[in-house]
Structure 1
Amino acid sequence: MKPPVFLTLADDSWQRAHYAFIVAAGMLSLGRAVTIFAGGKSVHALAKDWSGLAGVIPDDELAARGVPGFRELRDALIEFDVTLMACETGLALAGLEPDALVETVSVRGIVTFLEQAGDRPITAL
């Protein structure tokens, strides 16, 4: 069995979140389980409306360039059973309530994420 992958986001960068979703999709396609933990203002990446991220490029503009859009990537990750976690403190910092998040997101603290990762590497994007 291939080891799981643990990714963490910490800032409000749309570009970092989009890239994390691309990395996660690649890992899932290789049969790896993936957990993404969004802390700080990166919790906007897991919100139904991700416009709180900085530097958002609209999905239709990406599609015109042949690049998968944010919604397309996130929906694909959910379809392939990615584990999405939003930091409790990050939600407070971003001014979001849990009901603003995509339905499959669990609200957890960093300790839960670290416990799940155990001794495996964590990649910060």
Structure 2
Amino acid sequence: LPFRDLIVFVAQLQRKLLDIHALLDYIEFVHPLLRNPPSRPPSVNGIWMGCFTKSTEVCEALYFAGVPVWLVRSEAYISLTMNVVHSVRLSCPDDIVRAMYMENGVAKPFPSI
């Protein structure tokens, strides 16, 4: 197994394990709260990544399940009565690694997903 293939395998394994962990958390914690929402939202689970959504229904359901959630709206659709805690401008992070994978000084790019 070439070193490059080993790196791809480990990355794919990590991603699958994180997917499984997220699914187990969803089944154990989120799904029961989505089926029977509490009258008051539980405290937010700070280790979850959360959800970005344009749907107010999804936003409300996840909020009452304790999932970190961000409602993405264009400024034109924000009513004056809406309680906006923080207004942010979406941007692309500068620290994303976009460099080519190098093996013995030779660029061997991974396929784009």
TM-score, normalization by structure 2:
0.31
More helix by share: 1
More strand by share: 1
TM-score, normalization by structure 1:
0.28
The one of the two structures with greater contact order (alpha-carbon pairs below 8 A, sep at least 6) is: 1
Larger-Rg structure: 2
